Amino acid sequence: MRTCIATVSLSGSLTEKLAACAAAGFDGIEIFEPDLVASPLSPEQIAERARELGLSIDLYQPLREFEAVDEDEFTRNLRRARRKFEVMRRLGTDLLLVCSNVSPRTVDDDALAAAQLGLLADAAAEHGIRIAYEALAWGTAVNTYAHSWRIVEAADRPNLGLCLDSFHILARDGDPRGIEQIPGDKIFFLQLADAPRTTMDILQWSRHLRCFPGQGGFDVAGVTGAALKAGYHGPLSLEVFNDEFRQADSARTAVDGRRSLIRLQEQLGILDLPAAPAPSGIAYAQISAADPERVRRQLTALGFTTDGWSRQGDLVETWQQGDARILITTGSAGRDSHRDSHHDVARLTAIGLHTPDPAAAAKRAEHLLAPVLPRDHRPQEAVIAPDGSLLYLVPAPPEGASDGGPNAPTTVVIDHVALTQQWHGFDEAALFYSSVLGLTLRESVELADPRGLFRSRTVTNADESVRLALNLAPHPAHIDQHAQHVAFAVPSVIDAVRRLRAAGHDTLAIPANYYDDLDARFDLPAQTLVRLRELGILYDRDEHGEFLHCYTESVGRVFFELLQRVGGYRGYGAANAPVRMAAQHNHTITAGR
């Protein structure tokens, strides 16, 4: 299907927006009126620029506060509309979006609304213009698509139809199945936006938190599917008001948006992509460090051993314990993320994922506009993740061979890897890992660090043998601090900490207050509490089981977590994260003094 995006969804000048849309492969755009009003280009020049870039102008929007008003106001509104017809003629576009009236002056009178919209349509017809009427979720009288359809049906003009917007429908818990009853040729336009599930004022929610389909909690595919069933054959158009998108790089946002529509069309059975790779385990995590000695010492203390250096295209050192593998590289194997100028600081630069069919997975990534590295010099297929780190697609081990797994406590496995996202890349990352890798998104949580709120969201495969935590630092300056880590599930955290201590290594110091609080919250046996306190081990519990964990000191930007899931504990100890981050903060300060 044709794909469009509203200019309001992107940062930059109108010219920059057009370039970004074209580069990402969109077919057309909706011109958001304030973008045109603020542009130094004339409508003709904008049309020319769009033509040069191969973009159609599919919609001009919005005409506001138009219908169901008194005679005088209607006369003024019609005059205003005629001026817009003139702008549209100069732009060479023929579809005008009218959103339902949000003014207190409008009356709840369907007959009046239909009559006035009918007259608007008649005036538009003289210019070959069509009108798409959209129910805003906060419209004074008209705020559901069913209501807007009753008015459009009553007005009964060939050039008056509906604009459906998934946000307005789903934010009010509308049932999209009713859309199937609307004649497809009366749905003039379909705008798509997702949003995180929340409870807040609906206008604020719409203007600040919309996101691309697949990034939030709305069933955008349900609305789209219903419109297609009704016979809608216009474009799929993204209309996203989002504070971060307004600041982020428009070229990146546009690609992110296109990816969301490719994935949506796959979900709807319109596009056929190679199947999602279904990674079956974390093969390894890779740390780059110019001076890897401290990483080696820490891994040794944790019980890892190495078989030395090897060259598989890049120079790497493999460290292993049980089924957990860490690669250390001092070379360029971990592509330096563009934001990272501290090449000598140890940091996570790649992970390897066991993938049943790496070649097909790489093909899928290409279809979804993810950068795939050329195969030359590389032992494995590799995709660049949004944070700049590399995802190696490693052939899965043969059936029956142990691939770790979350509840394999007899040996050491990588339980999860936590990666830091760029400040505007959180939604992009969520969509990347879910669409490209087929991982499932979990709820996003906020974690209090002494310097601000971290956001964290995990993505997992079906049996949770692959768990990635996507962390977003509160401030770009903190981007890699307190966030990047590799968590090892061990048979016994208590034994592991004792071994570490015996080897002369400390774990992150946890304040006594924490244990007093633990005692208040959980009725733990006194002896258990004493042991946890002595060893600096954090504790959590859910309805499935218990969780014990502790942390190493950071080496560069990376630290390690040792954890033990008892029973079917599902979480990550999020309740303890603020204590851990405060401890890391205090440690940094102490170390810095």
Ligand X SMILES: O=C(O)c1ccc(O)c(O)c1
Note the residues at the interface with ligand X (CB under 6 A). 61-62, 97, 99, 134, 136, 165, 191, 206-207, 239
* 134 carries a ligand binding annotation: yes
Any bridge partners for residue 309, and if so which? Answer: 317
Q: Which is nearer to ligand X, 67 or 561 (CB)?
A: 67
Query: Are the C-beta atoms of 488 and 409 separated by less than 8 Å?
Result: no
What is the three-class DSSP state of 348?
strand
Site string (348-377) toward Mg ion, x via CB under 5 A: ------------------------------
30, interface contact from ligand X, Mg ion, none, CB < 5-8 Å by kind: none
298, interface contact from ligand X, Mg ion, none, CB < 5-8 Å by kind: none
Query: Are the C-beta atoms of 475 and 481 separated by less than 8 Å?
Result: no
Q: Are strands 440-449 and 452-460 parallel, antiparallel or unpaired?
A: antiparallel
Smallest gap from Cβ 362 to Mg ion, in A, equals 36
Q: Which is nearer to ligand X, 104 or 269 (CB)?
A: 104
Smallest gap from Cβ 54 to ligand X, in A, equals 24
Cβ-proximal residues to 398 (8 Å cutoff; 6+ apart), any chain: none
Host H or E run for residue 118: helix 110-125
Q: Which is nearer to ligand X, 208 or 499 (CB)?
A: 208
Q: Which is nearer to ligand X, 206 or 224 (CB)?
A: 206
286, interface contact from ligand X, Mg ion, none, CB < 5-8 Å by kind: none
Q: Which of 133, 191, 190 is nearest to 157 (CA)?
A: 133
* 424 carries a ligand binding annotation: no
Smallest gap from Cβ 129 to ligand X, in A, equals 17
Tell me the number of residues near Mg ion by CB under 5 A: 3
Smallest gap from Cβ 489 to ligand X, in A, equals 46
* 65 carries a ligand binding annotation: no
Query: Are the C-beta atoms of 221 and 267 separated by less than 8 Å?
Result: yes
SS3 sequence of 62-81: EECCCCCCCHHHHHHHHHHH
62, interface contact from Mg ion, ligand X, none, CB < 5-8 Å by kind: ligand X
Question: What b/e string do you get for 419-448 counting C-beta neighbours within 10 Å, with b at 16 or more?
Answer: bbbbbbbbbbbbbbbbbbbbbebbebbebe
Q: Which of 483, 481, 491 is nearest to 572 (CA)?
A: 483
Smallest gap from Cβ 248 to Mg ion, in A, equals 21
Q: Which is nearer to ligand X, 97 or 487 (CB)?
A: 97
Smallest gap from Cβ 135 to Mg ion, in A, equals 9
480, interface contact from Mg ion, ligand X, none, CB < 5-8 Å by kind: none
Place of tokens 């979720």: 137
Smallest gap from Cβ 189 to ligand X, in A, equals 9
What are the Cα distances from residue 506, in Å, to 189, 302, 496, 514, 576? 61, 11, 12, 18, 19
Q: Which is nearer to ligand X, 62 or 425 (CB)?
A: 62
Q: Which is nearer to ligand X, 136 or 508 (CB)?
A: 136
Smallest gap from Cβ 8 to ligand X, in A, equals 8
Question: What b/e string do you get for 70-96 counting C-beta neighbours within 10 Å, with b at 16 or more?
Answer: eeebbeebeeebeebbebbeebebbbb
Smallest gap from Cβ 204 to ligand X, in A, equals 10
The residue nearest Mg ion at its CB is 165
Smallest gap from Cβ 358 to ligand X, in A, equals 41
**Phi and psi for 83 in degrees, rounded to 5?**
-60, -35
* 239 carries a ligand binding annotation: yes
249: amino acid identity, one letter: D
544, interface contact from ligand X, Mg ion, none, CB < 5-8 Å by kind: none
What is the three-class DSSP state of 558?
strand
61, interface contact from ligand X, Mg ion, none, CB < 5-8 Å by kind: ligand X
Q: Which is nearer to ligand X, 91 or 579 (CB)?
A: 91
Cβ-proximal residues to 189 (8 Å cutoff; 6+ apart), any chain: 58, 59, 95, 97, 132, 161, 162, 163, 164, 234, 235, 237
Q: Which is nearer to ligand X, 104 or 398 (CB)?
A: 104
* 191 carries a ligand binding annotation: yes
191 binds Mg ion (CB under 5 A): yes
Token pair in block for residue 222 = 């349900």
* 86 carries a ligand binding annotation: no
* 367 carries a ligand binding annotation: no
Place of tokens 């774990």: 507
Query: Are the C-beta atoms of 383 and 436 separated by less than 8 Å?
Result: yes
Residue ranges in 172-249 assigned as alpha helix (H)? 202-208, 220-230
518, interface contact from Mg ion, ligand X, none, CB < 5-8 Å by kind: none
Q: Which of 215, 169, 216 is nearest to 190 (CA)?
A: 169
Rounded CA separation 132/155 (Å): 13
* Candidate residues 30, 65, 165, 340; the one interacting with Mg ion per rule CB under 5 A: 165
Smallest gap from Cβ 237 to ligand X, in A, equals 10
Q: Scan residues 192-251 and list those touching Mg ion (CB under 5 A).
A: 239
355, interface contact from ligand X, Mg ion, none, CB < 5-8 Å by kind: none
Q: Which is nearer to Mg ion, 253 or 458 (CB)?
A: 253
Q: Scan residues 252-291 and list those touching Mg ion (CB under 5 A).
A: none
206, interface contact from Mg ion, ligand X, none, CB < 5-8 Å by kind: ligand X
Q: Which of 588, 593, 529 is nearest to 559 (CA)?
A: 588
29, interface contact from ligand X, Mg ion, none, CB < 5-8 Å by kind: none
Q: Which is nearer to Mg ion, 165 or 403 (CB)?
A: 165
Give the residues lining the site for Mg ion (CB under 5 A).
Answer: 165, 191, 239
Task: Pick out the residues of the known binding site for Mg(2+).
Answer: 416, 485, 561
Residue ranges of the binding site: 134, 165, 191, 239, 416, 485, 561
